[in-house]
Chain A
Amino acid sequence: MSSIKRRRQDDEYTPQKNVKRGRKISKIDNDYISEKDDVNKDKAAGSKDVPIIPKIASLGLDKELAKVSTIQYHKRDSVSDLFGKNDFSNVNLKKDHANRPLWINPASGHIILEGFSPFAEKAQDFLITISEPVSRPSLIHEYKMTPYSLYAAVSVGLETEAIIEVLKILSKTEIPESLIEMIRKCTISYGKVKLILKQNRYFVESSHADVLQMLLQDKEISEARILNTEETDHNGFLSNVTLSSKDLGMSGNKKDIEQKNPETSIQEDELYAVVVIDKEDEEDEEDEVHSFEIMSEKFEIVRRRCNELNYPMLEEYDFRNDSNLPPLDIDLKPITVIRPYQEKCLSKMFGNGRARSGIIVLPCGAGKTLVGITAACTIKKSCLVLCTSAVSVMQWKQQFLQWSNIKESQIAVFTSDQKEKFNGHSGIVISTYSMVANTRSRSYEATKMMEFITGREWGFILLDEVHVVPANMFRRVVTTIAAHTKLGLTATLVREDDKIEDLNFLIGPKLYEANWMDLASKGHIANVQCAEVWCPMTSEFYAEYLKASSRKRMLLYAMNPNKFQACEFLIRYHEDRGDKVIVFSDNVFALEKYAKKLVVPFIHGKTKPPERVFILSKFQHDPKVNTIFLSKVGDTSIDLPEATCLIQISSHYGSRRQEAQRLGRILRAKRRNDEGFNAFFYSLVSTDTQEMYYSTKRQQFLIDQGYAFKVITSLEGMDKNTNLAYREHNEQMDLLTEVLLANDNVADLDDIEPNPEDLPGTVTSRNFNQKVRRAMGNMKSLSGADHMAYYEGSRSNNNSGNRGNHFNNNRTAQKKKDKKEQHHPLFRRQWLRK
């Protein structure tokens, strides 16, 4: 352990090597800051042996503060009133506050970090572990401590006292008692209990015997317990000594670090054992742990019970010692290089030689796939990968073949078109959420395949784009499939419907979240210039806008001729610079209109797959095709590293996630490492319309990641360019008539149903008041084919989810309900509420 010291006086200070907990130091130097980079390093390693905070530093500060506080008193001054409850002028600043990077709001627990401080980087590592980043522009960062984030911190091995101590050191002010209390409260119960799968048996493990005793007091838990007299000691606990090794055990670093060392401890009391921890063990960095076994069929109950008892269980998988699951021969190819931040997130996952479940958040284009593959290569067991669409299934397969040495016969794909099984005892299955969570009738083959999946145990389940999965679908996946470790990958852990917190308990805590700006400055993702272009509505369009219904309004502001001109201008400008341009439009009507007018290829939900492939490859390889138009289908998982410029003409209300996902399309730009290279992201907004409001809302996520949006009120040179479309008034009027004549339905957002098993891709909730309602009626019901459908027994009387359509008999209502379930679980939830 080495600590960086900063001293303002060069008198004595005590070296900090190997300071143990509780060690007393008599002579204290008041005037230095001890900045614990070792703290963070150890934390990253996730070792159980949490860095021991040298007491000396905090003691010194305390003393100093004590001195100050005796003479300090709070005086209200003339401006105090303006701040109300947020007047914190009575909070003491530490003498050397200029050197400390943090300020903590005593009322809300928000943490403000000075991003320019020399310690910022280390402080960031720490803060990212214990709190959620709220906003991270370049100079000042804001973080927020929440019970979840503290839960995550504990799960990677931090201890309560360590958190408080480090905060004390970094903070410019004293830490409010209330906050300390909150940290204590949140962390004291978390992480004490672990659920461990060893050789297919579930164990509840804890290093605190009393906690286990307490849990066993609970009726439900004690019922689930398996008493095995042969292996246990008198009180029925299994006591093991686990090496809390610092070895990260990453793939390619094969060491058997885990030793199983069953050791019976001495018993004194029949019922409540006091387990004597061997002092030597402690010094060898070993922790004695106790465990009892529970019935595998009841682990769900136990887990729920533990949550209720406020002792949430961490799930860990001791994959190295698992002899039951056949190993999978998979390793990264030697040429595969893992980037430092990828290593960092994996190190949090495999902290103590066991795999823990959780979520990793990395920006699009930063190599989430590789993280997933490396994790699979580390665990080396059968692996199930779930993604959102059939397209990404194929991409995952290809990536597996590219980065690892797995044989193609060992990768199976399970989609509506392909149902394969792998050969041998272990392998990888890649499928979509909908295929696995499907509860409706399946084809014979699919049923067989599902039996294959549910009938075996998986070492590892990889969940791509976890944020889009509706919670109930997720639950089904998690409960039907027996997997030891769950890893969720996502770029944007935000949802408009606040269901993110569900994920925390369904999968696990957030293990790592990367800083976008940081990655961009290191060249892992492209630098992006973001701009919002304001396009005034023409008076005719605006007149209609004021009269129109809300669905028509959308169409009107998307089709605004000024916007069209701005779009064309930007396309021409960037094509001349040699950029490849993607134009996004959620609205298919606008998409087709724009693309046809500009003679540019376009892809939307109804474009056939062969055509899509053709267009995409043209875009990638043909120097004449420099622009394509994409609808929502292109938001995720279309990988176009050629693209360097992105223009957005219509979008999904205020979805922050969509904005971020779209930005992700250009983050992986191939040319990102060229000197001075910038990618461009334009969002075209019609002024004085609702779009302005949505636009601000959408940008919030990216702004929090440190991106700055530049507002362009008029594009220079656009007026001079006479070749743009819709310059003439009569042309504009024609366009207007066309828009007005257009069916209301075309104002709907895109039709993302490329494959029945795809998730409702990018659609998040619609939490806004004036809503465009998606027309759920379809050709089938219009043509009367509803009555032709096969329909089975138990007719539901509960039509509450329906908009009581009087012509519908029960049967069509039922049918419609099914239809809804099939595509829009999020919407369904909203409707049911009404």
Chain B
Amino acid sequence: MVKAVKGVILKCDPTVKQVIYKLNEKERDKFQLIIEDLDENHLFIDSSKVDYIKTEVEKLLEENTYKSELLLPLNDK
């Protein structure tokens, strides 16, 4: 039987893709973020989790790069 899943295509850097993989791993028991890994720069993800991914990615990248107030905008996602 065919099962339809609603999703969105996410275009991102390879690094951000890794971040999302990590999230996926972390929340594996609760839900599945990634539906399909398309290619190096594209992922097909669960559309209901878009906001969650946005905030988490933001948080992680902030942490990794800039910690104080002065500073340049983040690398384009």
Contact = CB atoms under 8 A, between A and B. Distances in A.
Contacts, number: 49
A689 interface: yes
Given A690-B64, A693-B65, A542 B15 contact: yes
13 contacts: A536-B13, A539-B14, A539-B40, A542-B18, A545-B18, A687-B75, A688-B15, A688-B65, A688-B75, A689-B64, A689-B65, A692-B65, A693-B65
A539 B22 CA distance: 12
A812 B54 CA distance: 52
Nearest to B40: A539
Contact of B19 (A534, A538, A546): A546
A692 B65 CA distance: 6
Interface in A665-698: 687-690, 692-693, 696
B15 A539 contact: yes
Nearest to B65: A692
Contacts of A687: 15, 75
B66 A693 contact: yes
Interface string A684-718: 00011110110010000000000000000000000
Nearest to A687: B75
B77 to A, nearest CB: 10
Interface in A528-587: 534, 536-539, 542-543, 545-547
Looking at chain A's contact residues, the main secondary structure is helix
A549 to B, nearest CB: 14
Contacts of B13: 536, 688
B61 interface: yes
A536 B22 CA distance: 18
Interface in B10-41: 13-19, 21-22, 40
Nearest to A692: B65
Given A690-B65, A693-B67, 12 more contacts: A536-B14, A538-B14, A539-B14, A539-B18, A542-B14, A542-B19, A543-B18, A546-B18, A687-B15, A688-B15, A690-B64, A692-B66
The size bracket of the interface on B is 10 to 19
Nearest to A686: B15
Interface in B29-77: 40, 61, 64-67, 70-72, 75
Contacts of A545: 18
B58 to A, nearest CB: 12
A543 B67 CA distance: 21
A463 B66 CA distance: 37
A447 B57 CA distance: 62
Nearest to B76: A713
B30 to A, nearest CB: 19
A537 B15 contact: yes
Given A689-B65, A693-B66, A546 B75 contact: no
A720 B19 CA distance: 29
Nearest 9 Cβ contacts at the A-B interface: A539-B14, A692-B65, A542-B18, A688-B15, A543-B18, A542-B15, A546-B22, A693-B65, A687-B75
B34 to A, nearest CB: 14
Contacts of B22: 543, 546-547
A545 to B, nearest CB: 8
A536 B15 contact: yes
A18 to B, nearest CB: 50
B18 to A, nearest CB: 4
Nearest to B62: A693
A539 B21 CA distance: 11
Given A539-B15, A543-B18, A696 B64 contact: no
A428 to B, nearest CB: 46
Nearest to B63: A690
Given A536-B14, A688-B61, A696-B71, A543 B21 contact: yes
Contacts of A696: 66, 70-72
A534 B74 CA distance: 12
A534 B75 CA distance: 10
Find the residue from B14, B18, B72 having the highest chain A CB count within 10 A: B18
Nearest to B71: A696
Contacts of A534: 75
B54 to A, nearest CB: 16
Contacts of B18: 539, 542-543, 545-546
B9 to A, nearest CB: 18
Nearest to B72: A696
Contact of B64 (A539, A543, A688): A688
Contacts of B14: 536-539, 542
A56 to B, nearest CB: 45
Nearest to A769: B67
Contacts of B66: 692-693, 696
Given A688-B65, A696-B66, A539 B72 contact: no
Contacts of A688: 13, 15-16, 61, 64-65, 75
B70 to A, nearest CB: 7
Contacts of B64: 688-690, 692-693
Contacts of B67: 693
Contacts of A547: 22
A630 B31 CA distance: 49
A546 B18 CA distance: 8
A539 B65 contact: no
B75 to A, nearest CB: 5
A175 B6 CA distance: 66
Contacts of A693: 64-67, 71
Nearest to A694: B65
Contacts of B17: 539
Contacts of B72: 696
Nearest to B16: A688
Contacts of B40: 539
A543 B40 CA distance: 13
B15 to A, nearest CB: 4
Nearest to B19: A546
A546 B26 CA distance: 12
Nearest to A689: B64
Contacts of B65: 688-690, 692-693
A537 B40 CA distance: 13
A80 to B, nearest CB: 23
A542 B70 CA distance: 25
Contacts of A537: 14-15
Contacts of B16: 688
Interface in A281-339: none
Nearest to A713: B75
A511 B18 CA distance: 53
B29 to A, nearest CB: 19
Nearest to B77: A688
A693 B75 CA distance: 12
A5 to B, nearest CB: 43
A692 B71 CA distance: 10
Contacts of A690: 64-65
Find the residue from A536, A687, A689 having the highest chain B CB count within 10 A: A687
Contacts of B70: 696
Contacts of A539: 14-15, 17-18, 40
A542 B14 CA distance: 8
A546 B20 CA distance: 11
